[in-house]
Structure 1
Amino acid sequence: MKRIPVLCLILISFFSCKNEDALENEISKIETNIVIERFDRAFATTKSDELGTLKKAFPFLFSKRTPDSIWINRMNDTIQKELHQATHDTFGDFKTVSNEIEALFQHLKYYDKAFSEPKVVTLTNFVKYREKLIVTDTIVLIAIDNYLGSNHEFYSGIPKYLAENMRPSQIVVDLAKAYSEKQIFQSQKRTLLDEMVFFGKQLYFKDKMIPFKTDAEKIGYRPDQLEFAKLNENVIWTEFVEKEMLYNTDSSLPARFIADAPFSKFYLELDSQTPGRLGQYIGWQIVRAYMKNNDVSLQQMLQTDAAEIFNKSNYKPPK
């Protein structure tokens, strides 16, 4: 008799996987009109006397307040030439990333019937890693020199915990995050729980839009960091609850558990072993529990208040 619940779980898991496979098969058939324009390559191969032609092809990238001399100097700049070579060596024809962006757009079209594919333009921006992407309804700008690989020489002065996600595979992850921010509604974030659920919404959005990415890639962890979060989820949650952090409005808490950081700050001996952003990870599990235990659509969840999501999630970390 004790085997019956186990058998039920196996059957539920089996049919759930079958349904997910059927859904992904349906989404893969959605037609997209994806246009990716390589401004970085066009700029690299344009001669100074051909600048006018380039400006006509990409008028939205050239400010009238910037004299042509600035662009011509940039064409001849040694660092700019090194960036062009590095992006060419890393991305080649951009096909792998292009396929992932197309898959993202297919999922966006499935979940949002009003979504229309924007034009995607690649460029370089002298590794301004705080400005990797710009996303609007009609255009997406991707500064691909920010995705050359975690150990690239251009990133030697960037903190390692940030450089770890400056990889080609993270382009579509960052794009999905940008699109989530356009769809999430949440009243002013006051408590740590508000912050946790906000980022939990972002990560659940990635679950739906880029299911072909691993959980580690979605949250920007190494596999061992994700494993730490999974194994210690109950311990982390207990610490948040016992220290009464969830409804605390202390502005230092997001910096300790939400923001990019080399590790989370519990002020315990194990801190150095932890990955940063563990508050985001727990928020993700809360939102996953809410979606599992409530019959609501993705769009409804994205508009739901953090407290309601938490109260109706019945979240309980595994022991």
Structure 2
Amino acid sequence: MFRKTFLVLTLFLVFACNEDSKQREEIDKINIEFKVERFDQKFANAEPEDLPQLKRDYPFLFPAQYPDSVWVNKMQDSIQLELNTEVTAAFKDFSKEEDELKTLFQHIKYYFPSFKAPTVITVTSDVDYRNKVLLTPDFLFIALDTYLGKDHQFYMGIQEYLKKNFERAQILPDVASQYAERYVPQPQKKNFLATMLYYGKLLYLKDRWLPDTPDFEKIGYTEEELKWADANEEQIWRYFVDKELIFDSDTKLYSRFLYPAPFSKFYLELDNESPAMLGQYIGWHIIRDYMDKNDVSLQEMLDTDAETIFNKAKYKPKK
């Protein structure tokens, strides 16, 4: 009996590996063309007399209500000059990120054939960390001054839970998040479960699009935070169940368990040990279980309501 079970398991793993390898080959063959425009460098190297040409090339970056004097002053501003120096030193070569973006775009197009790659424009943003990545129908803007490393001097005074994701490695997951929001429908119901699974769907798209990215980077955790969540998955779920939070519509649960914060708020002594967004973490695992146990396409999952997914996932947290 043991030999038969072992043989079946071995054949299953071999088949799964072959399917994964075949899929990767298909994705690698997808033709993706896009440009990376280093506006940050062009602005850093510009003189006042270059401003008219910059405005012609990038009119969307120069709002009409601001006179030219604003941009000339910015070119000569000491803080902007320091930003230019630090970003140039850190991102003199952007080729690695360009290759990673190409692979991401190939994955998105594989699952969503109508996808069109954008023009990627790198900028500085006065460390506007609330808008590290901005996506429009034609352009993808990446603010490089928000990815200089969590210990950079520019980030003094910013809370640690935010700074931890000001790392270069976070560019790709942040871009993937922006695209995932385009493909995941907003939840039909406004309760904790539906919102958990909305975030779970976003993270599951990252599973498909970023197969080589560690889970902790997909969700925006440190390695230690993900280890804590993994070690306490059963206790997190039991708390949600015991407190009858699953179908609760109290929006305060979002700030407690779904949004970025210093920690999750169980109102227990362990709060300071816990990472934020544990509702997203649980929603992610429910979606993974649903996809593992049901023969459905990615699009079918995205279109399926939360209660159906929850019932069919038969989610059981790791002990």
TM-score range, shorter chain: over 0.9
TM-score by length of 1: 0.96
Equivalences for residues 178-217 of structure 1 within 5 A: 178-217=178-217
| Structure-2 separation of matches of 1:99 and 1:258 | 31
Please give the residue correspondences for 1:43-122 in structure 2 after superposition, counting only pairs within 5 Å.
43-122=43-122
Q: Does the C-alpha gap of structure 1 residues 71 and 16 become closer, same or farther in structure 2, counting only changes over 3 Å?
A: same
Shift of 1:3: 5.3
Aligned to 1:227: 227
Superposition deviation, residue 21 in structure 1: 2.3
Gaps of 5+ in 2: none
- Which range moves more in the overlay, 286-295 or 2-11? 2-11
Q: Counterpart of 2:290?
A: 290
Where do 4+ consecutive residues of structure 1 move more than 4 Å?
none
Contact 1:97 1:168 (C-alpha < 8 Å) held by counterparts: no
Q: For residues 218-277 of structure 1, give each alpha carbon's deviation from its aligned partner in whole angstroms, at most 9, with x where no partner exists.
A: 011111211111121111111111111101112211111101011111122222111111
Cα separation, 2, equivalents of 1:13 and 1:226 = 26
1:36 & 1:286 partners in 2: Cα distance?
A: 37
How big is each residue's C-alpha offset from its partner over 1:28-59, in whole Å with a ceiling of 9 and x where there is no partner? 22111120001000000010011111111112
Aligned equivalent of 2:274: 274
Q: CA deviation at 1:176?
A: 0.7
TM-fit CA distance, 1:74: 0.2
Conserved? CA contact 1:186–1:305, under 8 Å: no
1 CA distance for matches of 2:109 and 2:258?
Answer: 30
What value does the CA root-mean-square deviation take over the aligned residues?
Answer: 1.4
SS in 1 for 2:285: helix
Query: How far has the Cα of 1:72 moved from its partner?
Result: 0.2
Inter-partner Cα distance in structure 2 for 1:71 and 1:24: 46
SS for the counterpart of 2:33 is coil
Provide the rounded CA distance (Å) in 2 between the counterparts of 1:115 and 1:244.
40
Shift of 1:8: 3.3
Measure how far apart 1:142 and its partner are. Answer: 1.1
1:137 is matched with which residue?
137
1:25 is displaced (CA, Å) by 2.3
The alpha-carbon deviation at position 292 of structure 1 amounts to 1.1
Contact 2:201 2:287 in 1 (8 A): yes
Q: 1:163 to 1:110 in 2, by over 3 A?
A: same
Kindly state the Cα deviation for residue 6 of structure 1 after the two structures are TM-superposed: 4.8
Compared with structure 1, are the counterparts of its residues 84 and 29 closer, same or farther at alpha carbon in structure 2 (3 Å cutoff)? same
Inter-partner Cα distance in structure 2 for 1:307 and 1:117? 34
Q: Which amino acid aligns with 1:47?
A: E
What is the CA–CA distance in structure 2 between the aligned matches of 1:99 and 1:69, rounded to whole Å? 37
Q: Secondary structure at the match of 1:185?
A: coil
Where 2:318 maps in the other structure, the secondary structure is: coil
Distance 1:169 1:189, change over 3 A: farther
Q: Are the aligned partners of 1:186 and 1:304 in contact in 2 as well (CA < 8 Å)?
A: no
Query: Displacement of 1:75 after TM fit?
Result: 0.1
Q: 1:14: Cα distance to partner? A: 3.5
Query: 1:17–1:227: structure 2 CA closer, same or farther, 3 Å change rule?
Result: farther
Maintained 8 Å contact 1:204/1:288: yes
Residue 307 of structure 1 aligns with which residue? 307
Distance 1:89 1:189, change over 3 A: farther
Gap regions ≥5 residues in structure 1: none
Matches of 1:23 and 1:70 in 2, distance apart?
51
Which residue number in structure 1 is paired with residue 160 of structure 2? 160
| Letter in structure 2 aligned against 1:290 | Y
For residues 217 and 249 of structure 1, what CA distance do their matches in structure 2 show?
A: 29
CA contact (8 A) 1:185 1:304 kept: no
Matched residues in 2 for 1:11 and 1:268: separation? 46
Q: What SS does the corresponding residue of 1:130 show, helix, strand or coil?
A: helix
CA separation in 1, counterparts of 2:156 and 2:163? 9
The letter of the residue matching 1:129 is Y
Shift of 1:69: 0.2
Q: Residues 133, 13 of structure 1: CA spacing in aligned structure 2 closer, same or farther, 3 A cutoff?
A: same
